[in-house]
Amino acid sequence: MKITGVMTSLALAGALSLSFAAPAAGADDLWEITTQMNVPGMPAGMGSNTQQQCYEKDMRKNVTQRKDAEGCKVTDYKESANKLTITMSCPKNRSAVMEYVFNPSRTEYKGTMRMKDGGQEMLMNMSGRKVGTCDAQKARSEREQARSEREGQIAAMKAQADAARAQGEQAMKRNNEAQIAECGKAVETMDFGKLGMYGRCYRKSDDTCKSVMSSYAKTYPEVQSACTAKTAEFCKRYQTQEGFAKAGGDKNVAEACGLSADRVKASLCPGALKTESLDFLGRYCPNEAKPLAQKHCTGRDYTSKEGGKYAVLCTSYLANLDTDEARGAKTAPGASAQEKKKSPAGDAVQQGVDQGINKLKGLFGR
């Protein structure tokens, strides 16, 4: 039987059994009732219950006057000296047939309740013994009040749970948006670290990455999709002059993308030469940059104009030849040649420039 059907039928059984927590004294009969319901798939003991019930003399009222039995009708009522049979019809294609067999003094009984919920059936065995008197009307009123209070408590708990869930969802949404934005920044700045595990596990098939990515796909599907796409975009941009330069030609990044930094560089240098991307040529393309450096990085024109158009190429090219000497060859930003000559620092800078030029001359045999 489906769980929803079981719970619906249990609710119907509760409606028909009419339990009261604290029956008041009166002219009605107080019974102690034990029920046992056996349902396939239900944990042992879940369907067993003992409780007190206050019965009115008219048994039909006992099964119809509960709030949770609204809409149910008695369609057949048969009573003899020691046997009572009640047939009930309820909304949503539910029904129940209750049979009670009393002892001669009507102080004990055994019975069954056969319930139908759509095409599914349940059987509940019952036994009861009279234990005193009660006021069914007062007990019913108290029970409905307690029921209303419980419903209020349940509603409050549900509202709190809904609020907590909504807050959690909002926090999750903000976190997801922040992570997606971070992956976007990774492409913009060519900072591979901003891609996090999505970058580290890109094109990876080891057990750790499989486990992490599988978990992310279930927990953060939007982030997983967006950041995987951004990683692919990052790797594509790495294969452009701008992206390669921003990433500093990082070989580890290339490997994470399934690329070779040397091959990417080799594919970009001819284009850089054609478009005269001088800084890129000087930093990454020594073979292509050499003729330009030989032509434009020495001589009076270079020193008088501090390198002119090709200064960036000369600086980058020289830096790649010898980083330490390149530091000495750098000129102080904003300082005039005259100012450089007046101070020890300026002398050092000028000497560095001269040394750099001499080095280039030596390399080019001039």
Coil vs helix vs strand at 10: helix
| 136-189 helix and 221-238 helix, angle to the nearest 10 degrees | 0
Residue 168 placed within a domain: no
Instruction: Please tell me whether residues 296 and 335 are part of one structural domain.
Output: yes
In whole angstroms, give the CA distance from residue 137 to residue 165: 41
Residues 321, 297: Cα–Cα separation, whole Å? 13
SS3 104: coil
Look at residue 357 in the predicted model and tell me its pLDDT: 46
Q: In whole angstroms, what separates CA 179 from the centre of its chain?
A: 12
Residues 352, 298 share a domain: yes
Q: Are the CB atoms for 135 and 25 separated by under 8 Å? A: yes
Q: Please give the C-alpha separations between residue 350 and each of 37, 313, 330, 340, in angstroms, as whole numbers.
A: 99, 19, 9, 7
Two structure tokens written together for 12: 């119907």
Q: Does residue 268 belong to any structural domain of this protein?
A: no
| pLDDT at res. 39 | 67
Position 336 scores a pLDDT of: 39
**Same domain assignment for residues 249 and 293:** no
Domain that includes residue 209, residue range: 190-259
CA distance 220 to 200: 17
135 domain-assigned = yes
Between 315 and 269, residue with greater pLDDT: 269
Contact of 195 with 234, CB cutoff 8 Å:
yes
The model carries a pTM of 0.52
How far apart CA 36 and CA 50 sit, in angstroms, is 9
Domain boundary among 209, 233, 259: 259
Residues 140 and 44 grouped into a single domain: yes
Q: Is residue 95 part of a domain?
A: yes
Q: Are residues 337 and 292 in the same domain?
A: yes
- Residue 176 inside a domain? The answer is no
pLDDT tens digits, 165-219: 999 999 999 999 999 999 999 999 999 999 999 999 998 889 999 999 999 999 9
- The percentage of residues in the chain with a pLDDT greater than 70, rounded to a whole number, is 73
Statement to judge: residues 66 and 146 lie in one domain: yes
Same domain, 95 and 45: yes
| Residue 131 placed within a domain | yes
Residues 131 and 254 in one domain: no
| 136 and 8 share one domain | yes
- One domain for residues 107 and 200: no
CA dihedral 136, 140, 141, 147 (to 10 degrees): 160
pLDDT class of 40 with cuts at 50, 70, 90: low
Regarding whether 225 and 118 lie in a shared domain, the answer is: no
Q: What is the mean pLDDT of the chain?
A: 79
Q: pLDDT tier at 70 (50, 70, 90 boundaries)?
A: confident
**The predicted structure's pLDDT at residue 327:** 41
Total count of domains within the chain: 3
**One domain, residues 290 and 358:** yes
What confidence category does residue 328 fall into, taking pLDDT thresholds of 50, 70 and 90?
very low
Band of residue 308 on the pLDDT scale cut at 50, 70, 90: confident
The answer to whether position 172 is within a domain reads no
Q: Length of the chain, please?
A: 366
Residue 238 lies in a domain: yes
Q: How many CB atoms lie within 10 A of CB 277?
A: 21
> Which letter does DSSP use for residue 1 in this model?
-
